[in-house]
Amino acid sequence: MTVLVFLDPAHADGRVADASQPQLMISDLGATRGDGIFESLLAVGGAPRKEQAHLVRLAASAEALGLAVPEAEVWSRAIRTGLREFAAVEPDREKAVVKLIATRGVEGAERPTAWVQVAPVPESGRRQREEGLKVLFLERGYDSTVAQRAPWLLMGAKTLSYAVNMAAIRHAKAEGADDVIFTSSDGKVLEGPTSTVLLAHDRDGVKTLLTPQLESGILAGTSQGALFAAAKEQGWELGYGPLEPHHLLEADAVWLISSIRLLAPVVSLDGQEIRSSAALTAELTELVDRFV
Amino acid sequence: MTVLVFLDPAHADGRVADASQPQLMISDLGATRGDGIFESLLAVGGAPRKEQAHLVRLAASAEALGLAVPEAEVWSRAIRTGLREFAAVEPDREKAVVKLIATRGVEGAERPTAWVQVAPVPESGRRQREEGLKVLFLERGYDSTVAQRAPWLLMGAKTLSYAVNMAAIRHAKAEGADDVIFTSSDGKVLEGPTSTVLLAHDRDGVKTLLTPQLESGILAGTSQGALFAAAKEQGWELGYGPLEPHHLLEADAVWLISSIRLLAPVVSLDGQEIRSSAALTAELTELVDRFV
């Protein structure tokens, strides 16, 4: 079941509410305008992973939207309340998805609505990690420089306005694929609708991990960031785009990484099988599994 | 106050609910992903205006999102229920805003959540119609041909993912303007965040009304459509883009038109005063006021 904790000034540790009942006002601008922000993080054994990285990104998203959300510490306390409640009602689940959501609030109220929800991890992630992903390249419509000149487009903010991300995944599924990698109108590799793109080279004993550059308007991946730090300690070289589709086709391995599904290998791009590496996947997965 | 009517198979005319209480589930994909569609229409004297045009566009939006929403007739009945309730609780208000919203529903439920809400018309519209709008051109990031090759971008669908539209309006207000006209990355005039762009020429006794062409990925304006039909009957010539900013600067008048604010004259573009025409505004407003 899902546990719900509202951030509420009257309750220092958050206010637990019944997630099986309606709890949102119909005029909440999160529901009527997708005007809000979110984060999804994994908790293992009751402890949230990469909590600070998620809270830092949440604050950056809030800044981009001009949204006055509660302080990190308030979120932290609500997350702990949620995880404690979840452990009580779902004692056999080691893992949980923790979502942090803040909307612009009820129309006219001028006060954000903010909550934490804790729920079981969907089963589909494990299957996709094991079987790999068939991925389509789909155009995102933006060029890779627009983020820097048009802040109102909210590029790099994780907003609740995800209808296009969801539509892209539906489009991929209708075509027999599992997921999407967005490309810019000038032909650069961007990101997945809910993940960050990674690729590796393993040549002459040098292992290199690459990801598209942030300046292209993509979301700063918390898992990508943590994996880069961990891989560097293990002697990997690191690199940041610009990347084009041919770089992915030529790589020794490509993955989509995200906080809940974790590291999922890409096995085909636009129907063309690509190289993958069970050894590299295993090596990097070990690093991902050690994230705290 | 706001009246709320859920579309509910168990209630042929809709199920009235208390809008002052939480009525939405926290896991509704409308709230967590902006995954849904909407329409806003004006009701005058208890009768919805341009109802069929709005219901046709709602159906087109639903189609674009692959959303199985109730039939037009079911919406119509719920609208009537909402307007009847509104008249009972707000007997002195001649006008009302009627919102139709459908989301992808609660996560996992595979059934849309759909409702009608009826609320008072905001006061700001009258002021903006009278004083005119200071407007900024802001880049929308897309080129004017992307809609035709990338249906997953949901161009032309009226989705709940309006965070960018809202951010653009906030950006304009921070710059001392009132509203925005989006331009494409290839320099074409698109639309306002919540309105359609119109311009007029009045030359040698020939009056011409122009609007950007739909193929550029803009929303089909129901008010623009109704006004074009009415103006044509009055002898106006009609034209459809492509339009560029200089066409607006050279016009005899420019307006933003929408269902609730109606016809609002633009008085400046990027800080530069432009021509306006009280006579043309009055003539077209008379047509708008006759919409049924």
Could you tell me the residue range of the domain that residue A192 belongs to? 126-289
Phi, psi values for residue A13, rounded to 5°: -100, 10
- Comparing CB atoms, the residue among A101, A141, A167 nearest residue B141 is A141
Q: Which burial class, exposed, middle or buried, applies to A239 when counting CB atoms under 10 A from its CB (0-12, 13-18, 19+)?
A: middle
Query: By three-state DSSP, how is residue A132 classified?
Result: coil
Judgement on whether residues B273 and B203 belong to the same structural domain of the protein: yes
Cα B210-B259-B222 angle, rounded to 5 deg: 55
Judgement on whether residues A138 and A71 belong to the same structural domain of the protein: no
**Do the Cβ atoms of A171 and B160 come within 8 Å?**
no
Judgement on whether residues A283 and A186 belong to the same structural domain of the protein: yes
Q: Are B96 and B118 in contact (CB under 8 A)?
A: yes
- Among B86, B121, B156, identify where a domain stops: B121
Q: Are A266 and A132 in contact (CB under 8 A)?
A: yes
Judgement on whether residues B224 and B134 belong to the same structural domain of the protein: yes
- Comparing CB atoms, the residue among B19, B23, B34 nearest residue A162 is B34
Pairing of strands B95-103, B272-273: unpaired
**Do the Cβ atoms of B117 and A24 come within 8 Å?**
no
Alpha-carbon gap, residue A169 to B272, rounded angstroms: 43
DSSP secondary structure letters along B56-106 = HHHHHHHHHHT--PPPHHHHHHHHHHHHHHHHHH-TT-SEEEEEEEEE--B
- Comparing CB atoms, the residue among B22, B117, B142 nearest residue A142 is B142
Judgement on whether residues A130 and A170 belong to the same structural domain of the protein: yes
Distance from CA of B23 to the nearest CA of A (A): 5
Judgement on whether residues B163 and B285 belong to the same structural domain of the protein: yes
**Do the Cβ atoms of B24 and A24 come within 8 Å?**
yes
- Comparing CB atoms, the residue among B4, B29, B162 nearest residue A161 is B162
- Among A103, A121, A139, identify where a domain stops: A121
Give the confidence band of B244 by pLDDT, cuts at 50, 70, 90: very high
Which residues have CB under 8 Å from B123's CB, separation 6+?
none
Give the closest residue to B135 by CA, choosing from B171, B164, B172, B170.
Answer: B172
- Comparing CB atoms, the residue among A65, A160, A170 nearest residue B32 is A160
Judgement on whether residues A38 and A133 belong to the same structural domain of the protein: no
Judgement on whether residues A98 and A45 belong to the same structural domain of the protein: yes
% of chain B exceeding 90 in pLDDT: 98
| Chain A contact set for B151 (CB, 8 A) | 171
Looking at residue A29, what is its pLDDT?
97
Q: Are B266 and B255 in contact (CB under 8 A)?
A: yes
Judgement on whether residues B78 and B160 belong to the same structural domain of the protein: no
Output the tens digit of pLDDT for each of chain A's 292 residues: 999 999 999 999 999 999 999 999 999 999 999 999 999 999 999 999 999 999 999 999 999 999 999 999 999 999 999 999 999 999 999 999 999 999 999 998 989 999 999 999 999 999 999 999 999 999 999 999 999 899 999 999 999 999 999 999 999 999 999 999 999 999 999 999 999 999 999 999 899 999 999 999 999 999 999 999 999 999 999 999 999 999 999 999 999 999 999 999 999 999 999 999 999 999 999 999 999 9
Report pLDDT digits (tens) over A174-205.
Answer: 999 999 999 999 999 999 999 999 999 999 98
| Chain A contact set for B35 (CB, 8 A) | 162-163, 166
Judgement on whether residues B150 and B82 belong to the same structural domain of the protein: no
**Do the Cβ atoms of B159 and A34 come within 8 Å?**
yes
**Do the Cβ atoms of B66 and A117 come within 8 Å?**
no
- Among B121, B137, B154, identify where a domain stops: B121
Looking at residue A184, what is its pLDDT?
96
Looking at residue A28, what is its pLDDT?
97
% of chain B exceeding 70 in pLDDT: 100
CATH number of the domain enclosing B71: 3.30.470.10
For B272, the token pair is 């530069």
**Do the Cβ atoms of A65 and B117 come within 8 Å?**
no
Residue of A25, A32, A97, A98 to mutate when probing chain B, most B C-beta within 10 A? A32
CATH number of the domain enclosing A179: 3.20.10.10
| Chain B contact set for A142 (CB, 8 A) | 141-142, 185
For B191, the token pair is 């639309």
Distance from CA of B167 to the nearest CA of A (A): 5
Domain count, chain A: 2
Judgement on whether residues B167 and B243 belong to the same structural domain of the protein: yes
**Do the Cβ atoms of B185 and A35 come within 8 Å?**
no
Single pTM value for the model:
0.96
DSSP secondary structure letters along A20-83 = TS--B-TTBHHHHH--EEEEEEEEETTEETTHHHHHHHHHHHHHHHT--PPPHHHHHHHHHHHH
Judgement on whether residues A258 and A156 belong to the same structural domain of the protein: yes
